[in-house]
Every structure is written in structure tokens, then in C-alpha cells.
Amino acid sequence: MHSRKVTSMTILDPTRTVERSRFRHVLGHFPTGVTAITSLDGNGNPVGMAVGSFTSVSLDPPLVAFLPDRSSTTFPIVRANGRFCVNVLSSRQQAVCRALSRKGTDKFADILWSPTATGLPRITDALAWIECTIDAVHEAGDHYIAVGRVDAMELDAIDDPLIFFQGGYRACAPAATA
């Protein structure tokens, strides 16, 4: 076993910033699954947004998180409700993703959905849904980190997930075998 004594540490210049276009280009090489975060507004109408920043956080207790943009007009409605449903979109649901990405329109005009047991919008033909209560919201740069406690969940279909990679939608490919 070899060891090496560290005698100095390089500290990056905190004033140095990475160009936004470079950041997007490099991170665009990491595929992300696409989910739809849905909830209800104060009048009981469905609201939703497409999110590519969803992750599991903890098994005990069961927690998940998504990262909405701070300029989102939908997230304040979700936050006020205190509950949301994560819909894992299938590769056939690009239109749902596009509809939920629009601003200032009736996003649910062409989206089929049914209510969960507690009334949250569950998008028809999504692979899975995860119903959550907001546990915490943290500020993180130009986004929030919204942590949800999982209250209910179900796998509804076995299909390929909707993937976003290098600026476009992609399909999953089976791993090569050795």
C-alpha cells in the first residue's frame, strides 16, 4: 500500500465562475429521467410542471426530492398545497412533457389524468406515481430543493422511461452483455 503525505491544498478561486453555456454543455452529457410534478391549486384545478431533476433521497424515512427553478410560477402553487404527485413519464409521453413545460396556458387541456386517493392528479399511462407531502424546501442557487415524504406510490406500467440527453429526448438501450 502506498501513501503520500499531502503538504498543500489547492483552493479554487471563489470568484471564478463557469460559463453558463459550458455548464449546460458538460452536464447535458448526463442523462436525466423526466417526471411530471402535479398538484392542485386553491380552486382544486390541476397544476403541473415537467422536471428532470428528481431523485430518491432516503429509504428511512422514505424521501424524494425535485429541484424547481426559483422563477417557476407553478412551484409556489405546489408549495402552498403542501402535497404533490411525481409522475414518472414513459418514452411515449413527450407531448405531456412539452405541455407541462409551457407557461401561461391550460397545461392540462390535452393531458388525461385521474385523481389519486387524496385527489392529486395522476397522469394516465405514466410508468409510476409517487404521492408526497412536502417535508422541507431549501434554497440552492437559482433553484429550490423540494424534499417530499412519500405517502403512497405505485408502479402502473412496465415500459421505457422518458429520458432527456444532450438537448433532446432519447430512448433507453439495453446494456451490452459481456
**3-state SS track over the chain:** CCCCCCCCCCCCCCCCCCCHHHHHHHHCCCCEECEEEEEECCCCCEEEEEECCEEEEECCCCEEEECCECCCCCHHHHHHHCEEEEEECECCCHHHHHHHHCCCCCCCCCCCEEECCCCCEEECCCCEEEEEEEEEEEEECCEEEEEEEEEEEEECCCCCECEEECCEEECCCCCCCC
For domain 30-165, the CATH superfamily is Electron Transport, Fmn-binding Protein; Chain A (2.30.110.10)
pLDDT in tens, 113-147: 999 999 999 999 999 999 999 999 999 999 999 99
pLDDT band for position 164 (50/70/90)? confident
pLDDT band for position 91 (50/70/90)? very high
Give pLDDT, residue 166. Answer: 76
Q: Model's pTM, two decimal places?
A: 0.83
Give pLDDT, residue 12. Answer: 62
Structure-model confidence comparison of residues 17 and 155, the more confident one:
155
Distance CA 53, CA 118 (A): 25
Report domain extents, the chain: 30-165
> How many C-beta atoms lie closer than 10 Å to residue 127's C-beta?
21
From residue 124, alpha-carbon distances to 73, 80, 88, 89, 136 in Å are 24, 25, 11, 10, 28
Give pLDDT, residue 171. Answer: 72
Give pLDDT, residue 104. Answer: 75
Give pLDDT, residue 31. Answer: 60
What mean pLDDT value characterizes the chain? 87
